[in-house]
A and B are shown apart, each in its own frame.
Chain A
Amino acid sequence: MSSEQKMMAGPHINKPSTSALPTWWLVFSKDATDLWIGGKALFLVFIYTVVLGIVTYVINSSEFNSLHVSEMVYETVETVIEVSLFIGLIISADSLSGERDRNTLESLLLTSASRQQIIAGKFLATLTFWPVTFVLAIPTLRILSKGYDVFGQGLLSGGILGSIMVLVYIGLGMLVSFWSNTNKTSYVVSLGIYILFLIPAEMHEGVQTGMMGQVLRWLNPLAAVNHFFSKIILNNTSFSEALVWLESPVAFAIVILGMLFLYAAPGLRLEGGRGSKPSLKLNKNVDS
C-alpha cells in the first residue's frame, strides 16, 4: 500500500492529529473572514462612522457650543459605546440562527468539533468589530478634547466600559440566537433587549430619583455604565468611589458568559433552544 493509499484508508484512520489547529481558531478565522470579506461588518462600521460623524457635528455646532470639553467627550464616548453595542447585537443575533436559516449549521454540528469551541470561535469573531469601532472614534475624541487630559481619561474608561458591555451584548445576542429557530425572531428579540436597556439609560437622571430609581439604574448595565462614566468624566469622582456602578455590568458579563459557555454551548443543536440532557434508556442487548 502506498503512503497515499494508507492515508486514504478511511474507515481505519480518523483520529485527530496532534498538530491540528484548535476548533475555536478555525471557526474564528472562517467567521471573521465571512464577517469582514462578506461585507456585513464593513457595512455596519460604515453606518457607525456616519452616526459618529453626525454626532460630532451636532456637538460642535453652535447650539451645543456651550458644552464643556468633558461633556463633549462624555457624549461622544456614550454614543460610541451605544452604537457599538447595537452593531455587536446585530452581528451576534445572526451567529447561530443565521446558520440555521442558511442550512449551514448542520454540517458544522455533524463534525466532531467541540460545541463550546464552536461557540468560542463565533464569539471571538463577532468581537472583532469592537477594536475597529473604538479605534475609529479616537481621532474624533482627540479633536473634541482639544488637548485636555479628559482625552486620556475618556479613552481609558471608554475602552474598559465598552469592552465589558460589548461582552455582555454579544453574549446576549448569541444566547438569543441560540434559542431562536429563525433569524427574524433573533433580530426582533435582540432589538427588543437593546431598546429595553437603552431607553432607561438615556433618561435624564432626574427621572430616576429616590432609592428605587437608583436601584433600577444600578440594575440596568447600560445605565450603570453611563452613570459610572459620567461620575469619572463629568464629576471627577475617584474610580474607587464610582466602582459600585461597575458591579452590575461585571455581574451581567459573568452571568451571560457563564450561561453561554457553560450552559448553552454544550447543548448547541440544530433546532433552537437547548437540547435535553442525554437520557437514553440503554439497551444492553446491543453489542458495543
Chain B
Amino acid sequence: MISRGYSKAVSPQPEVLVAEGLQKSYGARLALQGLTFTLKAGHILGFLGPNGAGKTTSIRILTTMIEPESGRFVVDGIGSEHPQQIRRKIGVLPENLGFPRQMTALEYLLYFGQLYGQTAAETTTVAQKLLNDVGLHQRRNSLIGTYGHGMKQRLGIARALINKPVVLFLDEPTLGLDPRGQQDLLELIKYLSRECGMGVVLCSHMISEIESVCDDVVILSAGQMVAKGTVAEVIGRTQQNIVLRNGLKLQVLPASVAKAMQILKATPSVTKVSRIGATEGWLHLELIEPVYEGASMEYRISNSILGALIRAKILILNFEVEGGRLQDVFMHLTEEVIT
C-alpha cells in the first residue's frame, strides 16, 4: 500500500512541538485553558475530547490560524511569533477541507507545492509519489469534482504532506473512509511517524484509533486539559480511581461457568461473582478495594484471579479489566469535568 521513499528519522528524537500555557476564549467563554504538552519527532500524539472540548481551537492555534491570548508554542525550534516560518514546517488536514472542483488531483498538489516555494519539477515528483502513497495515482488526472469523500480525504492528506512537514496535524483523518481506507491511513500515519520521523498530532473521535496508533495522548474537556502522557500512563494514572467501581469481566466455556463461579467466590480479592447473560459464559466480578501501591496492585489482583482459574484447568476465553481501556478513562475524565 505504502511505498517507501522517505528517509528514516535520526535518533535521538528531538522535541518538534512544544506548547506551554496556551489559552483562548471567545467572548466570555473560555475555549482553551493552559494547554501544555510536548511532541517528539517520530511520535504520534492523540487529541481526545468531547464536542466543544477545545480540540479544534487547539489545532487552529498550533497551526497558526488563530492566535492564543496567552502562552506560546515552538515548532521545530521556531517560536509562535513567527507564524509564516512555522507554516513551512507543518502539514495540516483540517476537519472541513474544501476542494476546487475544476482542478485535477495532480494540478491541486502542484499548486500547493509551488505555494510552498518549490519549483514545478520538484513538486511534480513529490506529488506523483504522494498520490501513489494515498492510492490516487490512477485518478491523478481526474477532476476533483468527480471524487468521492474518501478520495478527497486522501487527497487532503497528500496535500498536507506536499511541503514535507516536520509536524503533521490531522483532524479526523479517517472520517468518511471505508474500513480498508481507515486501516491504510492509520498504517500511513504510523509509517510517517516511525520511519520518516514526523511528529503527528491526531485529532479523532474514535478512541480505538487513538489507542491503536498514538504514543501519547492529551484529553481535553470543556477547554481544560484533563490528562496527558503516554496512553499507558494516562490509563494507569486514572485506573486507580475507576477500576474498582467496574471490576472485571471474563468469559469461560458455558460448561465451566458453575465451577468457575465456585472458584472465584473462594478467591480472597473477589467480593461478588455474577453471570452476564444466560449462555455465553460471561462473568462479572466485583473486587475488594486494594490499598493502592502503584499501578501494579490491580495487575496483582487480576493475576491471582486468573491463576486460580488456570490451576483449576478452566479455559479462559476472554478477560477484560473494566476501566482499563482508554475509552473508560476518557468517559471517566470528561464526565468528571462536566459534573
Where the two chains meet, the residues of A that have a C-beta atom closer than 8 Å to any C-beta of B are: 1, 4-17, 19-21, 23, 26-27, 30, 33-34, 37-38, 99, 102-104, 106-114, 269-270, 275-276, 278-283, 285-288
Interface residue? B137 (CB, 8 A): no
Tell me the complex Cα distance, A7–B7, Å.
9
Question: With a CB–CB cut-off of 8 A, which chain A residues contact B9?
Answer: 11
Are the CB atoms of A5 and B6 closer together than 8 Å? yes
Question: With a CB–CB cut-off of 8 A, which chain B residues contact A7?
Answer: 122, 125-126
Are the CB atoms of B116 and A11 closer together than 8 Å? no
Are the CB atoms of A110 and B117 closer together than 8 Å? no
Are the CB atoms of B74 and A286 closer together than 8 Å? yes
What is the number of contacts between chain A and chain B, taking CB atoms within 8 Å?
163
Closest chain B residue, CB of each to CB of A117: B115
In addition to A11-B41, A111-B87, A282-B79, 14 A-B residue pairs with Cβ atoms within 8 Å of each other are A6-B7, A11-B9, A11-B164, A17-B122, A26-B114, A33-B102, A103-B96, A106-B65, A106-B98, A109-B65, A110-B90, A281-B72, A283-B21, A288-B74
Tell me the complex Cα distance, A238–B120, Å.
52
Tell me the complex Cα distance, A16–B123, Å.
11
- Interface residues of chain A: helix, strand, loop or mixed (majority): loop
Are the CB atoms of B114 and A10 closer together than 8 Å? no
Tell me the complex Cα distance, A196–B81, Å.
42
What 10 A-B pairs are tightest by C-beta distance, nearest first?
A16-B117, A10-B164, A103-B98, A9-B7, A104-B98, A111-B115, A288-B79, A112-B87, A102-B98, A112-B88
Place the interface of chain B in its size category.
35 or more
Closest chain A residue, CB of each to CB of B42: A11
Closest chain B residue, CB of each to CB of A6: B7
Which of A9, A14, A37, A282 meets B163, CB within 8 Å?
Answer: A14
Which of A12, A15, A99, A110 meets B87, CB within 8 Å?
Answer: A110
A8 touching B65 in the complex, CB below 8 Å, given contacts A30-B111, A107-B94, A288-B79: no
Interface residue? B247 (CB, 8 A): no
Tell me the complex Cα distance, A106–B161, Å.
15
Are the CB atoms of A281 and B41 closer together than 8 Å? no
